[in-house]
A and B are shown apart, each in its own frame.
Chain A
Amino acid sequence: MNSTRLLDDVAAVNLPRQFGLLEKTVEVISGSDAVHSLHVRGSLAAGTADRLSDLDFIVAVHDPSFGPFIRIIDTLMSAELGAILPGWRDTIVARMGGLGYVFLVPHEGKLHQIDLYAVPVSRLDTVLAQTKAMPVYQSDGEHSQRHSQVDWLINSTLERPYTAQELLVEILVLGHMIRKRITRGQRYVAYAEMFALHTATKNLIKTALTPGSAFYGWYQLAEEIGATPMGRQCLADLDRLISGHPIPTADDLTAALTTALDVAERAAPDAVAGLRTAISAYWHYLELM
């Protein structure tokens, strides 16, 4: 056996653990003729991935199948990769022409983040021009024709307000991201994502208690939400949340997530009930990061 082969063996056992998940994800998603190609982007494409890095994919889907693919994406990720939560429709990723979803997937005892940016093939070149990406799968099929309905589907999906349960998923996904920032010492990003978690919690309260609110953002919360004892309690929790350290420690994050979940339990109990066992697993994995 030559030294190159031996070094390959050493490299293989020292690969970041999410490489196994990378292979599995490619195998699962490429299992459909509707998928034209898969690229990785982010740290994997830049060569800067570490053991905490998420897996960022661009999934190019033939235009006529784009809608059907979006409709089954949650079930596919749950059934084949064991995603513990429905995908969070990513509002952090740049608007490049498709739809981004974030999934939390256990693998080898740890929770990993998989970002899927689904794009119709007709927009793939536009997306690739905006981000550094490397191909990991390419089908043999021809490009499909542009399908007029994909524009409507993407725009209407982006404009649709989140449900309370989607906001709860956003809070949990952000918590996972923040925990990673804390571990890496990325203080600025931790600050930004903590603010996003506060905002998601505020949005959850508004969605659950004043779904028809005409007021923007953080305005008029006391007048609208604080009109009832339950609303005042939610605002007291929100006040406690935003009064914490702007750059969180691990303990700060635990306290913030606990408060956010208390708020969700009070304002949107059905949303919490539907995810209760998943949330229990989420806490387990968060402690292991």
Chain B
Amino acid sequence: MTVIPVAEVALPAEVAALRHLESSTVERLRHEALTVPRNWVTEYGDYQNGGWHTLSLMNDTGDPRDVTIRDCPRPRPTALLERMPAMQELLAGLGVRCMWARLARLDHGAFLWEHRDYGELDEVERHRLHVPVVTNPSAYLVVGGTKVHMSVGRVWRLTPTSPHGVCNRFGPSRIHLIIDCYADAAFHDLNQGDAAAAGDAARMPEPSQSVLDETVTTATGLAELGYDHAAETALLELFYQYALAEGRAYDLIADMYAGLHRDDDAERWRSKKNVMLGLA
């Protein structure tokens, strides 16, 4: 395995570490998150490899299993949130105008592939808040070639209209409270960035040509044996190891299939790149 040097850096503009949370609050949130939710929903299958599950806490139907995000100006608590008093207290305390709130569980080995969010919603300004409840060092967000480990004990802001991806390479499961909210005075009060803890952000290295060649060779070997999914995964994972240009991982997959004279598969991945990155 190649040693990949990373350099600690300031947080990218798309991410901010906001308010600190009391450790007792975090402990109550963690207890609830690990004991109350059941029957997690796996949604957005094209965007992930199967290990990302959610349940809604605030939406317009009150159904925790209704997890497909849409504009939702008047959300109400779901049956799940009614059984989670610490979550209720936190949501009320943040004071922001919530569009949707959900718990997201990212299992070991799970990836949300490089994508942009909010593409399907209208132009109303929105922001996404993350409250990490359970995490580990191998769970991180990648945006603009920088990996950000959202540590527990803070409220974080993510602007998801930039290409980003999330992974939990080795586990245990990561659980975040994710709140999509409208921009208003309460949000702007909350959105006062502070320095992240040391180690929370690191710039990833540019990939050398030999690294790209070696990975493509391995992926091609997998595809030639019929392990297409593993081949695609090996190339998509480059986004989490190296600072790649936008959509480069998708291009590498399309090129791999083109090299194998599998033109339909190459075209499928070119189209998928456009959908994932909102370029269509």
Contacts and interface: CB of A to CB of B under 8 A. Distances in A.
A281 B226 contact: no
A76 B171 contact: no
Interface of B: 1-4, 108-109, 136-138, 169-173, 218-219, 221-222, 224-227, 229-230, 233-234, 237
Nearest to B2: A274
A80 B230 contact: yes
A275 interface: yes
Contact of A79 (B172, B224, B234): B234
A72 B225 contact: yes
Contact of A274 (B3, B171, B237): B3
A76 B225 CA distance: 11
A28 B109 CA distance: 15
A interface SS class = helix
Interface residues of A, number: 33
A65 B225 contact: yes
Nearest to B49: A79
Contacts of A65: 225
B136 A280 contact: yes
A165 B172 CA distance: 23
B169 A32 contact: no
A277 B137 contact: yes
B260 to A, nearest CB: 14
B230 A71 contact: no
Highest count of chain A CB atoms <10 Å: which of B2, B170, B171, B233: B170
B172 A69 contact: no
A239 to B, nearest CB: 29
A280 B226 contact: no
B1 A32 contact: no
Contacts of A82: 108-109, 170-171
Interface of A: 28, 31-34, 65, 68-69, 71-72, 75-76, 79-82, 84, 86, 106, 109, 165, 270, 273-278, 280-282, 284-285
B230 A281 contact: no
A75 B234 contact: yes
B230 A75 contact: yes
Contacts of B3: 270, 273-274
B108 A72 contact: no
Contacts of B4: 274
A275 B225 contact: no
A166 to B, nearest CB: 10
B227 A72 contact: yes
A80 B169 CA distance: 12
B218 A71 contact: yes
Contacts of A28: 230
Given A31-B227, A273-B3, A278-B138, 4 more contacts: A32-B226, A82-B171, A106-B109, A274-B2
Contact of B171 (A33, A86, A106, A276): A106
A284 B171 contact: yes
Contact of B218 (A72, A84, A165): A72
Contacts of A284: 136, 171-172
A81 B49 CA distance: 11
Nearest to A284: B172
Contacts of B233: 79-80
B225 A277 contact: no
A124 B75 CA distance: 62
A65 to B, nearest CB: 6
B28 to A, nearest CB: 22
Contact of B221 (A68, A81, A109): A68
Nearest to A275: B1
A195 B170 CA distance: 28
Contacts of B137: 276-277, 280
Contacts of B169: 84, 277-278, 281
Best-buried of A106, A276, A285 by chain B (most CB within 10 Å): A106
